[in-house]
């Protein structure tokens, strides 16, 4: 691993620990720090293991921003798990809306990394995949949070699972491998689904509003994937 990547990992880990101190405050324990660090190191290992298979020498600025927002998602994962067993942490992240604020920051950074990649013409296959997986990881963390702390059914995991169901189907149906055209609607559906999942964490929503938001999120993401699959099927005999 190059020294540039080691510096990137070290800086991002320092950011992670600083964010833990800022959010958990006096509730931060050695166990929580260790848990978050293990998540961070394991996911970082996977990222840079894959990165080493590319011809890229170091992370682009856009990928560094993606890495930072992934770190925020890891913190949210730690918060989701510990909140279920610690009322003080639950109060910080859910009653005081720290969870929503951090998730919204992560979502905003998602727009920033894409803008920077296009602005400086610094796009790559790795960067694109890294961005997509980070988006889906945030959805996965939001699903875990809703399942553990909001008493919602396992069906919520269908939202982050759609991407991998689609990838699995690609191995069986070659026409699904056709490149989809750029679509503002597809990108908007992903953002709106994530935003609705974040908003659903608001503690003052009653059960009716909460269920409406979750069902709307499921509908939007289902509609988006269905639309793409229908397009691919109709164009399966065309080249490209």
Rounded to an integer, what distance in angstroms lies between the CA atom of residue 79 and that of residue 61?
27
- The larger pLDDT score, comparing residue 49 to residue 58, is at 49
Question: Residue ranges of the domains in the chain?
Answer: 3-234
pLDDT band at 198 (very low <50, low <70, confident <90, very high): very high
Alpha helix positions (H), 86-206: 87-90, 98-119, 125-149, 158-170, 184-199
Per-residue pLDDT tens over the stretch 144-194: 999 999 889 999 999 999 999 999 999 999 899 888 888 889 889 999 999
pLDDT band at 1 (very low <50, low <70, confident <90, very high): low
Among the listed residues 97, 180, 87, the one whose alpha carbon sits nearest the alpha carbon of residue 132: 180
| Mean pLDDT value across residues 16-37 | 95
pLDDT band at 104 (very low <50, low <70, confident <90, very high): very high
pLDDT band at 115 (very low <50, low <70, confident <90, very high): confident
Report the percent of the chain where pLDDT is more than 90.
73
| Mean pLDDT value across residues 192-216 | 95
Rounded to an integer, what distance in angstroms lies between the CA atom of residue 61 and that of residue 135?
17
Can you give 31-86 as a three-state secondary structure string?
HHHHHHHHHHHHHHHHHHHHHCCCCCCCCCHHHHHHHHHHHHHHHHHHHHHHHCCC
117-to-127, 233, 238 alpha-carbon distances in Å? 9, 31, 30
Cβ contact 1:48 at 8 Å: yes
Contact residues for 9 (Cβ-Cβ < 8 A; gap 6+) = 44, 48
3-234, CATH topology level = 1.20.120
**What's the whole-model pTM score?**
0.93
Q: Residue 237 has what pLDDT?
A: 74
Residue with tokens 């399942």: 147
Q: Residue 239 has what pLDDT?
A: 62
Cβ contact 229:176 at 8 Å: yes
- The larger pLDDT score, comparing residue 178 to residue 75, is at 75
């Amino acid at each position: 691993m190059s020294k540039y990547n080691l510096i990137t990992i070290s800086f991002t880990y320092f950011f992670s620990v600083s964010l833990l101190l800022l959010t958990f405050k006096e509730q931060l324990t050695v166990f929580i720090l260790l848990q978050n660090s293990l998540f961070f190191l394991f996911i970082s290992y996977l990222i840079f293991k894959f990165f080493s298979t590319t011809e890229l020498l170091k992370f682009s600025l856009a990928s560094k921003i993606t890495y930072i927002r992934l770190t925020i998602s890891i913190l949210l994962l730690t918060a989701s798990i510990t909140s279920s067993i610690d009322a003080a942490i639950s109060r910080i992240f859910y009653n005081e809306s720290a969870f929503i604020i951090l998730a919204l920051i992560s979502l905003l950074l998602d727009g920033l990394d894409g803008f920077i990649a296009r602005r400086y013409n610094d796009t790559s296959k790795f960067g694109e995949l890294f961005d997509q997986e980070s988006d889906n990881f945030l959805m996965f963390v939001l699903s875990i949070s809703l399942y553990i702390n909001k008493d919602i059914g396992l069906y919520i995991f269908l939202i982050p699972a759609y991407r991998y169901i689609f990838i699995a189907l690609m191995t069986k149906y070659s026409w699904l491998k056709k490149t989809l055209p750029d679509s503002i609607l597809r990108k908007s559906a992903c953002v709106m689904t994530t935003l609705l999942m974040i908003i659903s964490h608001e503690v003052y929503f009653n059960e009716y509003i909460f269920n409406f938001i979750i069902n709307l999120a499921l509908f939007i993401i289902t509609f988006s994937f269905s639309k793409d699959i229908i397009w691919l099927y109709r164009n399966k005999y065309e080249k490209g």
